[in-house]
Amino acid sequence: MSQPRYTEMPLCRLPRATATTLIDQLFSADQRFARCFHRYWRDVMGMSDAAAARATHDELVTSSAVLRADLADPFVHTIGVTHDRGYEPVGIYAVRPLTSHAVGRRLDATLPDLPRSEWGARARRGLVHAVAIRDDHAGLAALRSAFVGVARRASEQELDVLYFYSSDHRLAGVYKHFGMDFPEGLGLPGSRHLVGRYQVHRIDNRERVAFTAAQLGLVELPVAA
């Protein structure tokens, strides 16, 4: 069976029922988001299975409610497939200026204490969050499509550096493949989430985005001279 060709659409352009159905699907207890949350609370934070299950339930309810409360958020995008019934969203991601999000503000507060030569004092910083793909589409093709979308959104917003955070530490290897790095000292205060940095305009990263977009048949970003 051939791989689906994914396209994307802002969450705010979806019919309300379609948007809420996607959110309910992604934050269901049987989906990857829930499994990642549970592993984080149990294996990283050391909770018992029962306590981790309660914390996971609370996290799912909170994360879902935040998205449902602002379906018009222009920074949230979906990836999906188009068939005879129209566009069906199967994944989601958000890219926004770092300090426009509560988690981003917590992270930003730690960055000025780090060496300027390493972090770029004047860099325009952004946050990537709410990355999720429905289990029946979880795979490299969908993840690579979302990666191209993230790079596009960063370019449109004229961001230089993106910060990712995730409860799933196993994603570090995958994210490194996309050009993300994990500098020493980078972390989210008050948590043990995986936090990485992606330098949008680094030449090898731009080349990687262009190559991936071409392979997937997506509109690609121009490679910087």
pLDDT confidence of residue 3 = 73
220 pLDDT band (50/70/90 cuts)? very low
Pinpoint the alpha helices (H) of 109-202.
116-119, 140-156, 172-177
Please state whether beta strands 7-10 and 161-166 pair in parallel, antiparallel, or not at all (unpaired): unpaired
Q: Over pLDDT 90: what percentage of the chain?
A: 71
The rounded mean pLDDT for the chain is 89
Please state whether beta strands 161-166 and 194-199 pair in parallel, antiparallel, or not at all (unpaired): antiparallel
Q: How far apart are CA 22 and CA 28, in angstroms?
A: 10
Domains and CATH numbers, the chain: 7-216 (3.40.630.30)
CA atoms 36, 37, 43, 48: torsion sign: negative
Q: How far apart are CA 47 and CA 39, in angstroms?
A: 9
pTM of the predicted model, to two decimals? 0.88
Fill in the amino acid letter for 63: S
* Residue 183, φ and ψ in degrees, nearest 5: -60, 150
* Cα atoms found within 13 Å of the Cα of residue 104, Cβ hemisphere only: 20
